[in-house]
Structure 1
């Protein structure tokens, strides 16, 4: 079998491993990774474990995707400085599980076709778990001192001295460890993988299996993907996130996330998020470095990942409108009804009646639908940050017939990256 550790290492998909894992992976091995259903959608950070599972499956191993229907009701304290707000609404949880299961299935099927990955839900066995069995079988093998030494627990106690950590969250590591024990027993799963913040939980599972079953099992972590402010992408994280659901993050915004990555970031992302061969990736990087202003890598990754998540048609539409919106040229030379429809479909937009347009509309009246205050609008116009159909506007003008393109559209731009489009109907 091809050495999967070498494959994952050059891609930057490995952070930490348990000793002996390379020898074990010379044989077909079952691996599992958990997914938290505290939201109805996966996000960009969740794509990394999906990529990892696909690599394992494609290279002859057996991959399992585990949805934490039970553990999500407890809340993982790892990487959290305060208690997570957990919803116990069963209808919402069921909806989240159904939505994420569908997303995972579609993501796996895209690259694996009929060799799909099994998706499990730990609620199916944890809800049947007898408390006395759990305490006597699992609890007696792990000391309180052992759990107190975990970074996730120590950090919560040190950073939140008044509230500390609840017993509910304190027990999370044991429940995740039980998942590994259960899957080892039922599915002969020998490897658990997770983000680098999961290392402590993974080691707990390894220790439980070693003490109870006397078996050697393994762990692997991958790096966490962070946003521009350095925070990891997460369902419970505050601030902006890049979701896979088109209702939460538009395909346009998803596509532009990759387009706007720096050259250093995109050289990392092309290895992490695509399944191109090492030779192809190295050639792409060489070609990109020759003319970085053409953003070859950004366009390639944006198109490839968007196609995976949102489909070929949408990816092609976004590639076409991205060229029109951001590259220097006479916009009227490339615009037609079809292209204007694509632009209206994907970027922030507004419908205005022709009757209202004929009455006369000031530029500020159009922009108020996209800005938080009139002060910000006037400042943007004063700073020459607003353009209509790629022509900079220096005053609060009345919008006229000459500003319409394609018979019924007006394209507005703020700064270098923000576009809005008006459709007159």
Structure 2
């Protein structure tokens, strides 16, 4: 199987500038290809996972993945899919986020100096010192305002009469220049991204053609939502982060364990790397026992991100909590001062403290709706006081609904 064949088979393909030529080029030789990530958070999340898996696929076929981190473009903010200007980030914020992104990616791909080892480059290295007048004179003539106004990232904001700053409008030019720079400096001939990046990618392909006449390609992936229309990477509790300091392996596992029935097969193709025989077995499992299929999906995706040991821990914890109804100390936990527990704390305050609810009012509503349990016992009193008597195996298990659980442990 070729890179493009597997790319399509896995469900990654959406659009390509010249698919026939790109397939020939990737089959006959090795190429360098890049995907960009702006430095807006300290970790990548599940919404980035398809792009991460594509970098992994490139490496599998011997191609060289280039990870472009937007140390420069993050200062401007990509208007694509955004209805307002992004918040300002300092150089320190961007640097910290960059390190977190590399940590996320290192779970999936190998960085190094080998022919197919990934490299990380920071576009601040060439954008920060780019003379504005020089840039406009040399490159500005290659961009058509008429064309730029037709791009979805611009057109959507204008149609909704939402402010689009001149700062954001420049983003497209700088992303195109990034591709031109990587093509010239690293012989990078392919840019990959989500389908919402199509306009920006094509603009880069055209700039390369006009400035150097080099061959380059754009390849995009479909924008993913769950079957119910929810955005990938988001959960009730917030973003589903890849780095464990932002989301525990158990919570990561649970996100995938709670996959909607209609999405199980699709997500397995996108994220599991099953062999052909495993894929057939999994398809049979979906039809015969969807819950076991969800467990297998969750285990494999967690194993890929966090390793076998953490995946097994998450699996065993879920079995204890949901099937055996026992307390597992591998559940997400918070420490509570021993004095607070000995004096007693209201249940609704504890719910806020754990993050299970955003407010006391939400806590009261959940209790009235029979949605809160302490050590698997239903809470019926809104004014319940939690104290040392509720300790069970040196912990207190608090549950919101059937899927959200937190352990309260004592800080000695």
1:342 aligned residue: 330
SS of the residue corresponding to residue 42 of structure 1 reads coil
Distance 1:158 1:354, change over 3 A: closer
| Secondary structure of 2:35's aligned partner | strand
- Confirm or deny: 8 A CA contact 2:341 2:387 kept in the other structure: no
Moved more, 296-305 or 195-204: 296-305
Match for residue 247 of structure 1 among 245, 248, 266: 245
The answer to whether the Cα contact below 8 Å between 1:82 and 1:160 also exists between their aligned partners in 2 is no
Q: Measured at CA, do residues 398 and 191 of structure 1 come closer, stay the same or move farther in structure 2, by a change above 3 Å? A: closer
Cα pair 1:45 1:224 within 8 Å, conserved? no
The alpha-carbon distance between structure 1 residues 166 and 380, as it changes in their structure 2 partners (threshold 3 A), is closer
Task: Answer yes or no: is 1:5 the counterpart of 2:4.
Answer: yes
Equivalent-residue separation in structure 2 for 1:410 and 1:239 (angstroms): 21
Change over 3 Å in CA distance of 1:284–1:232 after alignment to 2: closer
Change (3 A) 1:410 1:10: same
1:130 aligns with 2:131: yes
Q: Which residue of 1 aligns with 2:265?
A: 267
Distance 1:364 1:209, change over 3 A: closer
Describe the shift of the 1:282–1:144 C-alpha distance in structure 2 as closer, same or farther (beyond 3 A).
same
Offset, 1:193: 0.5
Change over 3 Å in CA distance of 1:401–1:14 after alignment to 2: same
CA distance in 2, matches of 1:172, 1:360: 54
| Structure 1 partner of 2:403 | 417
Give the distance between the partners of 2:345 and 2:296, measured in 1 at CA: 40
Among 277, 280, 297, the alignment partner of 1:279 is 277
Cα shift at 1:232: 5.7
How far 1:374 sits from its partner (Å)?
Answer: 5.6
The 1:402/1:85 distance shift into structure 2, 3 A limit, reads: closer
Alpha-carbon distance in 1 for matches of 2:149, 2:366? 53
Counterparts in 2 of 1:132 and 1:7: CA distance versus 1, 3 Å: same
Secondary structure of the 2:246 match is coil
Q: Which residue of 69, 72, 75 maps to 1:73?
A: 75
- Partner of 1:230 in structure 2? 230
How far off is 1:65 after superposition?
1.0
Aligned to 1:405: 392
Cα gap change, 1:360 to 1:175, in 2 (>3 Å): closer
Distance 2:187 2:296 in 1: 39
**Residues in 1 aligned to 2:387 and 2:42: alpha-carbon distance in whole angstroms:** 44
- Shift of residue 308 of structure 1? 3.0
- In the alignment, the residues of structure 1 paired with residue 198 and residue 320 of structure 2 have an alpha-carbon distance, to the nearest angstrom, of 45
Q: 1:335-354: CA deviations, max 9, x gaps?
A: 6xxxx4323xxx24453638
Relative to the length of structure 1, the TM-score reads 0.83
User: Cα RMSD over matched residues?
Assistant: 3.3
In the alignment, is the contact (CA less than 8 A) between 2:7 and 2:13 conserved in 1? yes
Whether 2:319 is the aligned partner of 1:323: answer: yes
CA distance in 2 between partners of 1:355 and 1:31 (Å): 55
Cα distance change of structure 1 residues 114 and 250 upon mapping to structure 2, 3 Å threshold: farther
Change (3 A) 1:401 1:52: closer
**SS of equivalent to 1:66:** strand
Local SS of the residue matching 2:239: coil
State the alpha-carbon separation in 1 of the partners of residues 143 and 346 from structure 2.
70
- Runs of 5+ consecutive residues of structure 1 not aligned to the other structure: none
Q: Distance in 1 between matches of 2:386 and 2:167?
A: 60
Deviation at 1:376, TM superposition (A): 5.1
Q: How does 1:170-319 map to 2 (within 5 A)?
A: 170-226=169-225, 230-231=230-231, 233=233, 240-292=238-290, 295-319=291-315
What SS does the corresponding residue of 1:26 show, helix, strand or coil? helix
Query: In structure 2, what is the equivalent of residue 16 of structure 1?
Result: 15
The answer to whether the 8 A contact 1:225-1:233 is kept is no
Contact 1:194 1:220 in 2 (8 A): yes
Tell me the CA shift for residue 364 of structure 1. 6.4
Tell me by how many angstroms 1:285 deviates: 2.2
The aligned length equals: 403
Structure 1 residue matching 2:78: 3-state secondary structure: coil
Contact 1:37 1:72 in 2 (8 A): yes
Q: TM-score if structure 2 supplies the norm length? A: 0.86
Q: In structure 2, how many angstroms separate the alpha carbons of the residues matched to 1:244 and 1:380?
A: 29
5+ unaligned residues in a row in structure 2: which ranges?
A: none
Instruction: Tell me whether 1:351 sits opposite 2:339 in the alignment.
Output: no
Give 2:32's match in structure 1, choosing from 30, 33, 40. 30
1:171 and 1:382 map into 2 onto residues whose CA distance is: 52
For the residues of structure 2 that align with 1:351 and 1:239, how far apart are their CA atoms? Answer: 21
